[in-house]
Amino acid sequence: MKWDVCVIGSGAGAGPVIYTLSKAGYSVLVLEKGPWYRTADFAKDELVAVRRSVYTSSLIEEPQVLEWEEEGQWTSASTFDTGDDFWNGNCVGGSSNFMSGYFLRFKPMDFRLLSTYGEIAGANIVDWPISYDDLEPYYTRIEQLVGISGRVVSHRYAEPRSTPQFPYPPLRENIVSGWIDKACAELGYEVIPTPRAILSQKVGERDSCYYSGYCGSYGCNSDAKGSSRVAFIHPALMTGHCAVLPNAKVFALETDGRHRVRRAWYYDIHGTRQYVEAQVFVVAAQAVETCRLLLMSRNDEFPNGLANNHGQVGKNLVFSAGGTGGALFYLDEWPEEIAQQIRQPGYFINRTVQHFYEIEDPKTGKRIKGGSIDFLFEHNNATTRAIHRKWTDEGGLRTGRAFKEDLKVYFTTRRQLKFEVFVDWLPHDKCFVALSETVRDKWGDPVAKIRIGHHPHDVKVAEVLVERAKEILRQMGLREIYGSVSTFPPSNLQAGGCRFGSDPKTSVLDPSCRAHEVDNLYITDGSFLPNAGSVPLTWTIYANALRVAEIIKKRL
């Protein structure tokens, strides 16, 4: 059978494409490398979710190679050797199953970084080939399709909207949310409620949130969380035009000699090589693996890898990162009634400070791009919290009765409020994806080699925002305040590597996210992004995938 569309991957970049084209009556085949978990499979099992590679690839079977800089020298190591798992959710729905669902839009200046702020030495900054206004209608449609709960408020960096409010009311909030509002008001900082891709009320077959507090790293038992699996793939399957093939690892895209993809080759669950044919191919395997697939698809037409005759595939890899920190509530210092409200499990903080989305350069006074600060409670996962307590302040190891007593005090008399800082990870030449020359996966294919270099400008911006976040915690009267900037990003928010643009010499994709060099190949995960903005990426990936889906539908 020759399909109308073959989609490789099933996460945030794939779901809207699968949904739109299936709903339009086109035959869609989804090839997903991982297994197909159902909602009932997502128990709140802490060992499964955070201590074992259950929802991600085994590092024995599928390592990656990470490179990082130490004292001017690049160090390289396999993740199998180090145990540093850089995979995300490898299953139907991808890592969107395990997201926290913080949904904030990019702002108009994120689409025009170069024009707005100018060049930065050593960074490959470009303007997008589309504008915020081009993407805004798709942001709005995603609100309904995914189910975003929240409350729109006016603030200095509020992006233009075509609707006045989110489709669903805010989720329940802990009393601490109001204290953050108060502290920010006293400091003269604007704070906004954080919209979440989590239903606050039942919609169709999806139940509302039941406030377990186990969002990030965990699948949702109620389907309240708007994963690609629930929001897009489930309704696509109901059309009868969509089929999902799990445990299908695509290893090559074959072209026909006329710059068109003819076949997608994959290993089935038994390790047997199979192929499928389609009119249109859409790759959405997340940035690193999308680049790896293109680089592995070498042939006479594309000796450097598919769509890579200008050497741009894998370049300008970016992440969404900045810094973290937090502070403690000492519950015995509060009246019992208030302490109980602080302890309230499951209720959200849902507060974001975007007052510093633009800041002044500490040295030059020039206006530069800033970022966002999100506040949240320490994750409910007791295993991780306990592991963090095993070390003393002096670096020694707590054991026995002393460890038990420390855990009792921490779990019963303390609660930790944390913050995350999001700033741009500027694209530059020292952050990219290539193929490893020495390490291979269980199928014998070269694994991705990921060079993780940061630009010093990112650190400068993150340091400013970390200090502002700590200032807010001090204003709240919290204790043991800490915060730091990280130059090693989390793996779950990756983008770039196949950026879109108008010039084939400096981009892989055209403005419609079709490969410049391959007529029927589209890429719809975060690979297209020229920059990562200063917010989590998922909403923008969803919105752009929906935009590209409409383009493909018109083509078909």
Q: Give pLDDT tens digits for 369-388.
A: 999 999 999 999 999 899 98
User: Which tokens belong to 519?
Assistant: 């007529």
- In the chain, what are the domain boundaries? 2-555
Q: How far is CA 435 from the centre of its chain?
A: 22
**What pTM was computed for the model?**
0.97
User: Which tokens belong to 314?
Assistant: 């894998």
Residue 25 CA to residue 240 CA, distance in Å, equals 9
Contact 536, 489 (CB under 8 A): no
For residue 54, the model assigns a pLDDT of 87
For residue 511, pLDDT beyond 90 = yes
Helix axis angle, 538-555 relative to 15-23, nearest 10°? 30
pLDDT tens track for 63-81: 999 999 988 899 999 999 9
pLDDT tens track for 181-191: 999 999 999 99
For residue 174, the model assigns a pLDDT of 98
Going from the C-alpha of 242 to that of each of 4, 183, 232, 277, the distances in angstroms are: 10, 50, 11, 15
pLDDT tens track for 267-323: 999 999 999 999 999 999 999 999 999 999 999 999 999 999 999 999 999 998 789
For residue 450, the model assigns a pLDDT of 98
For residue 359, pLDDT beyond 90 = yes
Residue 305 CA to residue 320 CA, distance in Å, equals 27
For residue 518, the model assigns a pLDDT of 98
Of all residues in the chain, the percent with pLDDT exceeding 70 is: 100
Domain 2-555 classification at class level: alpha beta
Q: What would the mean pLDDT of 177-183 be, rounded to a whole number? A: 98
For residue 51, the model assigns a pLDDT of 79
* DSSP labels, 248-293: -EEEEEEE-SSS-EEEEEEE-TTS-EEEEEEEEEEE-S-HHHHHHH
User: Which amino acid, one-letter code, is at 475?
Assistant: Q
State phi, psi for 475 to the nearest 5 degrees.
Answer: -65, -30
Contact 473, 376 (CB under 8 A): no
Residue 326 CA to residue 413 CA, distance in Å, equals 16
| CB-based contacts of 273, cutoff 8 Å, min separation 6 | 265, 266, 267
How does residue 50 score in pLDDT terms, banded at 50, 70 and 90? confident
Contact 230, 93 (CB under 8 A): yes
For residue 138, the model assigns a pLDDT of 98
How does residue 49 score in pLDDT terms, banded at 50, 70 and 90? confident
CA nearest to 527, candidates 436, 441, 427:
427
Chain mean pLDDT for the chain:
96
For residue 362, pLDDT beyond 90 = no
What sign does the dihedral 552-554-555-556 (CA atoms) show?
Answer: positive
How does residue 1 score in pLDDT terms, banded at 50, 70 and 90? confident
What sign does the dihedral 506-512-518-521 (CA atoms) show?
Answer: positive
Of all residues in the chain, the percent with pLDDT exceeding 90 is: 90
Task: Note the helical H segments in 330-399.
Answer: 336-343, 382-388
| CB-based contacts of 348, cutoff 8 Å, min separation 6 | 171, 172, 173, 174, 177, 196, 211, 376
pLDDT tens track for 383-440: 989 998 999 888 899 999 999 999 999 999 999 999 999 999 999 999 999 999 999 9
Contact 155, 192 (CB under 8 A): yes
Residue 289 CA to residue 491 CA, distance in Å, equals 12
Let me know if 509 is exposed, middle or buried by CB neighbors in 10 A (0-12, 13-18, 19+): buried
* DSSP labels, 400-465: HHHHHHHHHHHHHHEEEEEEEEEEE----TTSEEEEEEEEE-TTSPEEEEEE----HHHHHHHHHH
For residue 455, pLDDT beyond 90 = yes
pLDDT tens track for 318-357: 998 789 999 999 999 999 999 999 999 899 999 999 999 9
How does residue 164 score in pLDDT terms, banded at 50, 70 and 90? very high
For residue 432, the model assigns a pLDDT of 98
Going from the C-alpha of 305 to that of each of 118, 126, 298, 529, the distances in angstroms are: 33, 24, 4, 20
For residue 3, pLDDT beyond 90 = yes
What sign does the dihedral 260-263-266-272 (CA atoms) show?
Answer: negative
> What is the distance in angstroms between the CA of the first residue and the CA of the last residue of the chain?
17
For residue 512, the model assigns a pLDDT of 98
